[in-house]
Structure 1
Amino acid sequence: MNASPKDPVSDTAGKTWPHERNELRRALLARRREWWATAEARLAADKLGEQLLGLLHQLEPLSLGLYWPLEGEFNAAAWAAGHKLGAEMQLALPFARKAGDRGPAAMEFRRWDGAEPTLKDECGIPSCAGPVLVPEVLLVPCLGFTREGFRLGYGGGYFDRWMAAHPGVTAIGLAWQGGEVDFEVQPHDQALTVVLTEREVIAP
């Protein structure tokens, strides 16, 4: 889609969204916050979990990269622990480092034993102190997503940089159907292998 930065875009439900990325993030966050308090959101989480379990049974990975959820995101860590996936594969949580004297902002995955995290990364998100692990399959939270398999996150670029450095990893975007939008793809944006929502599996 070739639109100017100020042109609005629409989702599949006909809602008009701002095209500028930060404005789009704010609009998506506001919509998700309102929706998250509804009974529909709880049902959607159950359905998304079913979709994810089915896909992982097909892929049979030996290791799985998770994430600790922010408000309104699918709780992949609790879901994996609840399904005892740690008995079938190695689990890992991301640890993000902010840019500084040590170098640019970066992220690594550390093996997670399923216990409640006792430390936080440099972005203040719960993580763990296990050995570094490169997961075969990565679960990626999506604030927004496109039908072509690109995601909109929170602007830090941590997942995009990690995926660019590990092109062989299967990246599964986890999203809510209401987050489907359109936006102009930028050079740093990394395509997901597949996007799962509570309603469908989108394989670009």
Structure 2
Amino acid sequence: MSQTSTVPHERAALRTHLQAVRVQWLACTPGQAAAAALAQRLRELLEQLEPQCLGLYWPLDGEFNAVIDLLAHALPQPPTLALPYAYKASRRMDYRRWDGSPPALKDECDIASCAGALVQPDVVLVPCVGFTREGYRLGYGGGYFDRWLAAHPGVTSVGLAWSCAEASFAVEPHDQALTLVLTEHEIISP
């Protein structure tokens, strides 16, 4: 599954392939048990990191639902929560304070968000369609998280991924390495 070129259509093909693998994997026994294991690892990690403001994401189909898990199992010292809001025209993203209620608003990319005040998280959870051992992620191709991370270099970024999403792909100049990648099996610290 190695990709040696940075041609956009090859990344798109890899993204499509990994999404199909994810659907099949989540329907199997290992995939069905993975959410509980990843949730436990995430809670333990966040207890160590002790974020003041935690940037979450509203999950798309097949992504780990950290939002539901964290709201159901409160951390000992609950952080301020934030959801990203993406602006299509300027291709940028901000985080907005979130009260935990079901989002009644969608951002310009049609993803659930909120209307709270702008905040800057010190820890952000980032969904991964794919990831490498070096901490790079393959997302959905918009570059929103990469641009946000480039503008906020001191933030701890935690990629949340299923183990079946490990891949090999060429790193492009805009790609930002994550601080950690967390799967249901391990913490990868590049």
TM-score, normalising length: structure 2 = 0.93
Question: Greater Rg, structure 1 or structure 2?
Answer: 1
Q: Kindly indicate whether residue 142 of structure 2 is the aligned counterpart of residue 129 of structure 1.
A: no
- Aligned residue in 2 for 1:3: 4
SS at match of 1:182: coil
Amino acid at match of 2:151: A
Question: CA offsets per residue over residues 61-97 of structure 1, 9 Å max, x none?
Answer: 1110000000110001111211234961100001111
- Aligned residue in 2 for 1:158: 144
Which runs of structure 2 are paired with 1:2-151 in the superposition (5 Å)? 3-4=4-5, 20-85=10-75, 88-99=78-89, 104-151=90-137
Rounded to whole Å, the distance in 2 between the matches of 1:175 and 1:187 is 22
Rounded to whole Å, the distance in 2 between the matches of 1:91 and 1:173 is 17
- Residues 4 and 75 of structure 1: CA distance in aligned 2, closer, same or farther (over 3 Å): closer
Rounded to whole Å, the distance in 1 between the matches of 2:121 and 2:164 is 28
Rounded to whole Å, the distance in 2 between the matches of 1:174 and 1:189 is 16
- Residues 138 and 70 of structure 1: CA distance in aligned 2, closer, same or farther (over 3 Å): same
SS at match of 1:185: coil
Q: Please say if residues 57 and 67 of structure 2, whose CA atoms lie closer than 8 Å, have aligned partners that are also in contact.
A: yes
* RMSD across aligned positions (CA): 1.8
Q: Flag structure 1 segments of 5+ consecutive residues without an equivalent.
A: 7-18
- Residues 95 and 85 of structure 1: CA distance in aligned 2, closer, same or farther (over 3 Å): farther
Rounded to whole Å, the distance in 1 between the matches of 2:100 and 2:122 is 18
Larger relative contact order, structure 1 or 2 (CA cutoff 8 Å, min sep 6)? 2
Q: Please say if residues 123 and 158 of structure 2, whose CA atoms lie closer than 8 Å, have aligned partners that are also in contact.
A: yes
Q: Kindly indicate whether residue 185 of structure 2 is the aligned counterpart of residue 199 of structure 1.
A: yes
Rounded to whole Å, the distance in 2 between the matches of 1:155 and 1:72 is 17
Q: Flag structure 2 segments of 5+ consecutive residues without an equivalent.
A: none
Amino acid at match of 1:46: A
- Aligned residue in 1 for 2:170: 184
Alignment length, in residue pairs? 188
